[in-house]
């Protein structure tokens, strides 16, 4: 096998380089996703306890200490906990979108290798067959069947190796894409939950707009009642 690879030419070495790159990307991304995972339910329960006590400073420190994408999304929301619900939803959505490129980093490399490796292998086979035809023309078309089959077999090694590289690369890509999608789902869940937690433990006095409308309505209602009472006293007189 090593002899066939060594005789396969530069195309075979290119395919081996692609396979090495695919394995390196897979190991790096797998390690990153392992570090990026977080028990969202358990972590949110701890943050809810801190938010209930209005201890936002410690909650922010807990988010920073996690060093994971979900922690950064939660940190962005807690940093501006005084804003309205719609503003908080926009903040966590933007923070989540900033994490997507980090999660999908290098996945396009695996996707490219999975699609390009069979074509590179086919190119090696075609190039090998061209060399065989050229050699036959030099010797007047005379060769032994054993030598011809050996040369053709060596040419087909490139195509076979292209598939050997492409199949694992595509499986690596599919597996890592699923892991990335799972973490993105956790980011969305964390963003929704933290907004709900902040809203549930928000001070009633912080709802200034609603309170102002109620006060104005009551003042207007009281003024109308006083005017009606004055008019009634005027009619009695």
Give pLDDT tens digits for 204-217: 544 444 333 333 33
CA distance 99 to 1: 44
Residue 158 pLDDT: 86
Q: Which of 60, 5, 180, 202 is nearest to 110 (CA)?
A: 180
pLDDT of residue 204: 58
Give the alpha-carbon dihedral of 151, 154, 156, 158, to 10 degrees: -140
Please write the tens of the pLDDT for every residue from 46-55: 999 999 888 9
pLDDT at 114 over 90: yes
State both tokens at 31.
Answer: 């390690």
Max mean pLDDT among 23-32, 124-133, 147-156 falls in: 23-32
User: Taking Cα atoms as reference points, which of 3, 40, 26, 10 lies closest to residue 176?
Assistant: 26
Those residues with Cβ within 8 angstroms of residue 18's Cβ, 6 or more apart along the chain or in another chain? 113, 116, 117, 120, 165, 169
pLDDT at 61 over 60: yes
% pLDDT > 90, the chain: 47
145-173: average pLDDT? 85
| H helix intervals, the chain | 2-6, 10-36, 40-52, 56-66, 69-79, 85-103, 107-138, 145-200, 208-236
- What per-residue confidence (pLDDT) applies to 3? 67
d(CA 165, CA 167): 6
Nearest to 93 by CA among 77, 82, 71, 78: 77
Q: If you average pLDDT over residues 145-150, what whole number do you get?
A: 71
The token pair that represents 218 in the structure block: 């009551």
- What gap in Å lies between CA 2 and CA 84, rounded to an integer? 66
- Which pLDDT band, with edges at 50, 70 and 90, does 78 fall under? very high
DSSP of 104-165: TTTHHHHHHHHHHHHHHHHHHHHHHHHHHHHHHHHTTT---HHHHHHHHHHHHHHHHHHHHH
What is the pTM (predicted TM-score) of this model?
0.75
């Amino acid at each position: 096998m090593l002899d066939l690879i060594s005789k396969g030419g530069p195309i075979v070495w290119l395919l081996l380089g692609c396979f090495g790159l695919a394995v390196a990307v897979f190991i790096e991304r797998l390690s990153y996703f392992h570090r990026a995972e977080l028990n969202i339910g358990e972590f949110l329960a701890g943050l809810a306890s801190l938010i209930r006590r209005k201890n936002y400073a410690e909650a922010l420190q807990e988010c920073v200490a996690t060093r994971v994408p979900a922690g950064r999304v939660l940190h962005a929301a807690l940093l501006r906990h005084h804003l309205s619900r719609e503003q908080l939803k926009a903040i966590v959505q933007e923070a989540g979108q900033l994490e997507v490129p980090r999660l999908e980093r290098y996945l396009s490399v695996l996707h490219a290798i999975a699609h390009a490796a069979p074509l590179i292998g086919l190119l090696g086979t075609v190039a090998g067959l061209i060399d065989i035809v050229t050699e036959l023309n030099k010797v007047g078309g005379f060769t032994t069947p054993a030598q011809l089959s050996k040369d053709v077999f060596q040419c087909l090694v490139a195509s076979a190796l292209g598939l050997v590289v492409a199949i694992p690369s595509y499986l690596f890509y599919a597996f890592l894409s699923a892991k990335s999608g799972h973490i993105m789902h956790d980011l969305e869940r964390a963003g929704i939950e933290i907004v709900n937690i902040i809203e549930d433990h928000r001070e009633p006095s912080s709802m200034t707009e609603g309170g102002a409308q109620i006060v104005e309505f009551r003042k207007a209602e009281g003024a109308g009642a006083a005017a009606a009472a004055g008019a009634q006293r005027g009619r009695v007189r």
